[in-house]
Amino acid sequence: MCGIIGYTGKEPALPLILGGLERLEYRGYDSAGVAIIEDGRLIVEKRVGKIRELVKSLWGKPYEGKTGIGHTRWATHGEPSTENAHPHTDEKREFAVVHNGIIENYLELRGELEREGVSFRSNTDTEVIAHLIAKSYRGDLLEAVLEVVKKLRGAFAFAVITVHEPGRIIGVKQGSPLVVGISEGENFLASDIPAILPYTRRVITLSDGEIADLTPEGVNIYDFNGNPITKDITIVPWDLISAEKAGFKHFMLKEIYEQPKAVGDTIRGLLSPAEELPFSLKEFRRVLVIACGTSYHAGLIGKSWIEKYTGVPTEVVYASEFRYGDFPVSEEDLIIGISQSGETIDTKFAINFAKDKGARTLAVVNVVGSSIDREADYTLHTHAGPEIGVAATKTFTAQLTALYFLAASNHGERDKLIAELMKMPARIEAVLEKAEDVERIAQKFMKKKDFLYLGRYLSYPIALEGALKLKEISYIHAEGYPAGEMKHGPIALIDENMPVVVVCPQDRVYDKTLSNVEEVRTRKGIVISVGFEGDERLEKVSREFISVPPVEEDFTPFVTVVPLQLLAYYIASRLGLDVDQPRNLAKTVTVE
């Protein structure tokens, strides 16, 4: 996590860097800082809090320096404080570094430096990089960086500038994302593409083990041994408008409303010959789906579809558990890694691990050119467009689309199934038209301290997803549970204060779920149900009933998840919370 940006060119760097940091803020936002080379010295400004605190502190300080770096932080080593905020400098303040990721051997390196008399100002792992580069510097920043990267262990990306070579920025990528933006007489470095989109759409995506050497005149790429590398320049297909709020109060709400388009675009994208897979799922002994958070919930639903349409046994594992478990993986397995960002480090490492074992790997990612996109053998792209809100919404329904498409493509009735899938954008539209009902319910229950979410079969992952959305943006405790498991423990929690959100479409487990609703009612729990329009049985036993258009069983997740996203959104928004950037979270999780 953390966002880094660098600029070298003909304009004053400060406004460009601050603008870029605002667009990177979703990556982390507990503190921020910039370093500019101004008249042969380093100006470093850092603040705890959001980027606006940094911007305020720079008002009335019109620095003109044309080279600089910036950082927005999500703390790993050292609490959020001005000292721990980036950029970090060497003792003489001649070198400044911004960094994303973790230097695993920093304690060892710090110990060595301290024994040599270096004094540290922060508790971060990053500061060692600044001191090491200063010590290795003999007139060429690239040479110094090449010497230092050999000493660093971990997954990281960093950028460094020095007063000795104004106009030059060196960027290093090893595990964490880093892209170079190319323009006329100016060049950029950033953790993510949206940071530089207003200035250029010409991008080089760095791979692990690569170093970028930027000046206003050009960019050279090297490996860690200093050998030059030729890289392709990609033209980014998004435009900035699609990354702005378009009149919505929050990105999350805009993205919830973009779901019909995200699903439609994903189907269209997957129908293109470029996305066709050269194998059938039925060739494999087993499918193993690996993902985190919301992507994991999409995987749970994908498992049911894959098993239904292919008969291939499918398991879904949290990437962070997979890596350190003893899962037997072989060439007979297909590993599907699902990741919106394509950068989640646990998922990425799990894919690498599976590849090493000889398994074939398939990624489902939203960000084209991301690490997971590049490292997996094959990719199915979700075409949801950039998702800025930290809580995933449209990328979840786009992931469902890709997984359904994959499962259906391996079945004799493929065309019929995909034709049904194509009806989902209209069905989601219909749910969105009822958003006001959800808003009213949100207002009624926003002060509750705990929520329980229940569902069975395909609605169980939806219950998990609904609970995750509520927790992450409203900070209200919420638990998702298989409805049938409730009687084995969670039922003890139910009393007249407990809202229980029950996802109960008319599917194969409808009657069973309805019995669970009765169990909740008997214990005076507040039943908020999500069910099909016209379902009077369910409406009658619910305190609140949210209706969604009736769809075939397979497609219920597409319509039932939307009210749960809206419920979480309206509760958090009415509580006055920072919906798009909830505390402690980051959009891209590049630490283990």
Q: Which is nearer to ligand AGP, 120 or 318 (CB)?
A: 318
Residues in the chain, total: 592
Among residues 567, 230, 234, which one has the least CA distance to residue 391? Answer: 567
Marked catalytic residue, from 46, 394, 471, 587 = 587
Q: Which stretch binds ligand AGP (CB under 6 A): 127-135, 155-163, 289-297, 505-513?
A: 289-297
Q: Which is nearer to ligand AGP, 122 or 393 (CB)?
A: 393
Rounded to the nearest 10°, the torsion over CA 278, 284, 288, 289 is 30
CA 165 to each of CA 12, 139, 178, 224, 341: distance values in angstroms, whole numbers, following the listed order: 17, 8, 22, 21, 34
Q: Considering only residues 8, 31, 259, 341, which one is a binding residue for ligand AGP as defined by CB under 6 A? A: 341
Q: Considering only residues 162, 200, 295, 516, which one is a binding residue for ligand AGP as defined by CB under 6 A? A: 295
564 near ligand AGP, judged by CB under 6 A: no
The number of beta carbons lying within 10 Å of the beta carbon of residue 76 is 17
562 near ligand AGP, judged by CB under 6 A: no
Q: Which is nearer to ligand AGP, 199 or 349 (CB)?
A: 349
Site string for ligand AGP, 413-452 (x = CB under 6 A): ----------------------------------------
Please indicate whether residue 2 is annotated as part of the active site.
Answer: yes
Q: Considering only residues 8, 174, 294, 590, which one is a binding residue for ligand AGP as defined by CB under 6 A? A: 294
Q: Which is nearer to ligand AGP, 347 or 560 (CB)?
A: 347
397 near ligand AGP, judged by CB under 6 A: no
Separation CA 153–CA 106 (nearest Å): 8
Q: Considering only residues 87, 181, 194, 293, which one is a binding residue for ligand AGP as defined by CB under 6 A? A: 293
Separation CA 553–CA 462 (nearest Å): 13
Q: Which stretch binds ligand AGP (CB under 6 A): 11-19, 30-38, 293-301, 504-512?
A: 293-301
Please indicate whether residue 50 is annotated as part of the active site.
Answer: no
Q: Tell me the CB-side half-sphere exposure of residue 344, using CA atoms within 13 A.
A: 26
Q: Considering only residues 391, 438, 458, 486, which one is a binding residue for ligand AGP as defined by CB under 6 A? A: 391
CA 365 to each of CA 339, 491, 508, 555: distance values in angstroms, whole numbers, following the listed order: 5, 37, 31, 21
Separation CA 47–CA 52 (nearest Å): 9
Ranked by CB distance to ligand AGP, the top (closest) residue is 293
| Amino acid in the structure at residue 212 | A
Which residues, in sequence order, are CB contacts of 201 under 8 Å at separation 6+? 235, 236, 239
Q: Which is nearer to ligand AGP, 364 or 491 (CB)?
A: 364
Map 271-309 to HEC letters.
CCHHHCCCCCHHHCCEEEEEECHHHHHHHHHHHHHHHHH
Q: Which is nearer to ligand AGP, 67 or 347 (CB)?
A: 347
361 near ligand AGP, judged by CB under 6 A: no
Residues lying near ligand AGP in the complex (CB under 6 A): 292-295, 339-341, 344, 347, 390-392, 472, 589
Which sequence positions are flagged as catalytic? 2, 587
